[in-house]
């Protein structure tokens, strides 16, 4: 399966993203509460997002939720797998292909989970 056949048609939505946070909606809300309300990080959520199929595994969709926010002046993507079938390697390959600004100098994707949120920032 070629990853290139699965493209999000909204280029503006993905442009400028410098980091990825894997977090469900509850974790996203907890991060917002901690970092915006308690620590006063500037935080502006985009109020709409996408549900997107990044590929298929055994004819079953691998689907993720996508939301963005600008936090401390950096555009981040919040993502969470929502399908019955999840292939993290497929998801990471799709993210690397579609988020060139989130690739670090060592070639790794700047991606963290909610527990390591503070490590996503490029300061």
Asked if the structure places residue 80 within a domain, the reply is yes
Structural domain count, the chain? 1
Asked if the structure places residue 90 within a domain, the reply is yes
Token readout for 88 is: 């993290």
> Is the confidence at residue 102, as pLDDT, over 50?
yes
Asked if the structure places residue 8 within a domain, the reply is yes
> Which domain does 22 fall in, by range?
3-116
pLDDT tens for each residue of 36-95: 999 999 999 998 899 999 999 999 999 999 999 999 999 999 999 999 999 999 999 999
- Nearest Cα to Cα of residue 57 among 93, 94, 85, 96: 85
Give the integer Cα–Cα distance in Å for 119 and 5.
31
């Amino acid at each position: 399966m070629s990853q290139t056949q699965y493209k999000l048609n909204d280029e503006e939505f993905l442009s400028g993203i410098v980091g990825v946070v894997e977090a469900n909606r509850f974790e996203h809300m907890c991060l917002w509460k901690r970092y915006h309300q308690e620590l006063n990080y500037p935080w502006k959520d985009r109020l709409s997002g996408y549900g997107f199929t990044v590929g298929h595994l055994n004819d079953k969709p691998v689907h993720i939720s996508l939301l963005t926010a600008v936090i401390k002046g950096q555009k981040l993507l919040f993502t969470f797998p929502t399908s019955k079938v999840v292939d993290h390697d497929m998801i990471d390959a799709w993210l690397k292909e579609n988020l060139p600004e989130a690739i670090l100098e060592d070639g790794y994707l700047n991606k963290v989970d909610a527990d390591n949120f503070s490590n996503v920032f490029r300061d």
